Amino acid sequence: MEQVKLRRISEREYEFTIEGEDHTMGSLLQHYLQEDERVVNAYYSLIHPLERAIKVYVKLASDDDPVEVLSDALNKIIKEAKGLKKKLIAAYKEAGIQLED
């Protein structure tokens, strides 16, 4: 993520503009935000096919901090990615494949 901007749309609706990201991060964020009980609705859109930037829309159930909600989703993504990395490394070792550090 190169830069993140927050814009309030209404009382509990927010728009994050995230530069340097595309459908991969947008889809992950949408998934983890929608799993959060503080979130009523979340979705993303690609700003333009030729730009690496997305807009993530979040509607909160209460007056929670939208930055904290986004941060929590990002931390869950990081945790899942680290778990996947450990499993892949273990599978490579079991298969006898050497990995370079």
Higher per-residue pLDDT: 30 or 1: 30
| Contact indicator for 57, 42 with CB cutoff of 8 Å | yes
Averaged pLDDT for residues 6-17: 97
Decide if pLDDT at 45 tops 70: yes
Residues 52-94: tens digit of each pLDDT = 999 999 999 999 999 999 999 999 999 999 999 999 999 999 9
Q: What letter represents residue 86's amino acid?
A: K
Question: Which domains occur in the chain, in start order?
Answer: 3-94 (3.30.1360.10)
Residues 12-31: tens digit of each pLDDT = 999 999 999 999 999 999 99
Please tell me the predicted confidence (pLDDT) of residue 99. Answer: 82
Please tell me the predicted confidence (pLDDT) of residue 24. Answer: 95
Please tell me the predicted confidence (pLDDT) of residue 4. Answer: 95
Alpha-carbon distance 56 to 16, whole Å? 5
Alpha-carbon distance 27 to 22, whole Å? 9
Closest CA to 73 of 40, 38, 33, 34: 33
Alpha-carbon distance 32 to 30, whole Å? 6
Torsion from C-alpha of 82, 73, 2, 101, nearest 10 degrees: 0
Alpha-carbon distance 3 to 17, whole Å? 8
pLDDT grade for 101, boundaries at 50, 70 and 90: low
| Contact indicator for 95, 47 with CB cutoff of 8 Å | no
Please tell me the predicted confidence (pLDDT) of residue 8. Answer: 97
